[in-house]
Structure formats: structure tokens, C-alpha cells
Amino acid sequence: MGKMKIAYLGPPGTYSHILAIKRFGHRHHLVPFPSITETCTYVEKHHGSIGIVPIENSSGGAIHETVDILINYEPKVHIIEELSLNVRLALLGHKGEKIKTLYSHFAPLEHSAKWIKRHLPHVVKQIVSSTALAAQRASEEPTSAALGSRNLASMYGLDILHYPIEADVPNITTFLCISSKPLSLTSSRSNKMTVVVHLPNKPGSLCTLLEVFKEESVNLTRLISRPIRGLPREYAFLIDLDGSLPQENVRRAISKAKKVCERFRIAGCFNSRPPYTS
């Protein structure tokens, strides 16, 4: 494999950055971007590049910016691999200072809500776009702290005040590797698929679709609904399923599903890798 450009949700030190290094190492050129949309736009315009974007956190739920990009196909990117990271959070700040403000991305704040209530009941929580930005903000304010990776402490001159936070509660973030070109839909190496569907706005339409997959014994692992722009009270669905098109039952299910959907698109056939640990 030659040297590639790997785009990720930055700045350096984010969990996307950590995962990019764990998956691809240091031999490739890692390119940070301030938003998921900008990451995907770069990948769309730079053929041969790969992007890493989060799609779901086990505590905070779906990352809607990523879901909307896949549903709307804007930018035009395809899923080529699924990654996951067992996130271990640290409280970063300044020793000896009373914490008045706590910065982090919404997902770590959601995951640690009970811990924060027990240990920092009077803190003001501030949501920012990434854990790295949270650490940067905390480094500039003596009475502020951040939730994020331990690696951020050395990067931003902070102390590790507590680690790990909520270690007994699983905190898995799922990421997608995206590309401007899809993998082969018939690859036997794929073990998952993501599809985007628009259903008729009538009673039972979602139930009818789900029955198709039940009849063919295809397991669905994710189902997310999002409003369709310009069509009030109508929704599109992002659906993950186990299996790939070389399997006969999956092919039959896809063929039947297309007949009951107004629109049907495969967003990617890919392999899901075992979780990494941060």
C-alpha cells in the first residue's frame, strides 16, 4: 500500500486522530479538518484518499451530521470499512484549581453525566466540536477542565486529574472509513451493508420493509430515521445489516426491499473490524 492521505475530524488529538493512527499507522499523511462535512468533502474531491468520521456513540447515540451526509449523498462518499474504539476518558485540567467550566464534545459529556453530577455538581458544561478543542480551551483557562483522551494532556500542557472516568460503563464509538469510490458490491470479504431508503408515507410501510428482512433471516444492526429536507413529516432511513450480496438470502432481501421502497441506495458494502482501545 502506497502513502495515502487520511482525512479525519481534527484537530490532532481527537479520537478520530487516535483511531486513524491505530488503523493506518504513521506512514500515511494524516489531514485534520474542523468538521465532518469538510472531511467528507475533501475525500469526495481527492480520489484515492480515505476519511474517518464518527457515526455513533454507545452513550450519546447517532452522529447526525454523518448520518445526513450518507442519506443525502452530499458529499458523495461511500462506506468502505467500519471501525470502533473503546473510549477511555480522562479529566484534564490544572492541579490545585477549582473547576468551574467543563469542556467536551457532547458524546463524552453524555456518557459521563452521572460521574459529573457526583463529582462536579456545580460545574458549567460547555459543548464544543471535539475533545481536542475542549483541551485547548481548558489550557487557556485556569478554572476550566476538559473530558478527553489522556494523550491530550501532554499536547496542551494539562494535568490528568482523574482516569479513567466511568470505566465500568462501556463507551464504544463507531467510525466509518469513507472513500469517493465504493468497494465491489459482490466482494466476499464484506460482512456488512448500509442502505438508505425512502418509504411511502402511509401506515405500515416501515413494518412491510422490516418484514422483508425478517422473512430472509437478515439481521439489522442499526436503523436511524432522519427528516427529509423539504418534505415535512417524511423521513428517510439509514439501515445497517449483517451480510453481503454474495449471500443468497441477502440478495433476495435487497431485491424485495427495493420493491416496497420509493428510493433505495446502497451506501456501502464493507468489513467491520474488531474494536480498538484508546
Instruction: For residue 99, report the phi and psi dihedrals to the nearest 5 degrees.
Output: -80, 120
Query: Would you state the torsion angle of the CA atoms of residues 238, 241, 244, 249, taken in this order, to the nearest 10 degrees?
Result: -120
Output the pLDDT for position 233: 80
Output the pLDDT for position 53: 96
Percent of the chain with pLDDT over 90: 84
Q: Are 244 and 188 in contact (CB under 8 A)?
A: yes
User: CB neighbours (10 Å) of residue 122?
Assistant: 7
What are the structural domains of the chain?
5-86+172-182 (3.40.190.10), 89-165 (3.40.190.10), 192-271 (3.30.70.260)
- 19 has a pLDDT exceeding 80: yes
pLDDT (mean) for 163-169: 83
Output the pLDDT for position 80: 97
- 67 has a pLDDT exceeding 90: yes
pLDDT (mean) for 57-79: 94
pLDDT (mean) for 185-190: 84
- Select from 191, 174, 172 the least CA-distant residue to 183: 191
Indicate yes or no: pTM above 0.75.
Answer: yes
Output the pLDDT for position 1: 56
Output the pLDDT for position 76: 97
Mean confidence (pLDDT) of the chain: 94
Task: Tell me the chain's radius of gyration from C-alpha atoms.
Answer: 20
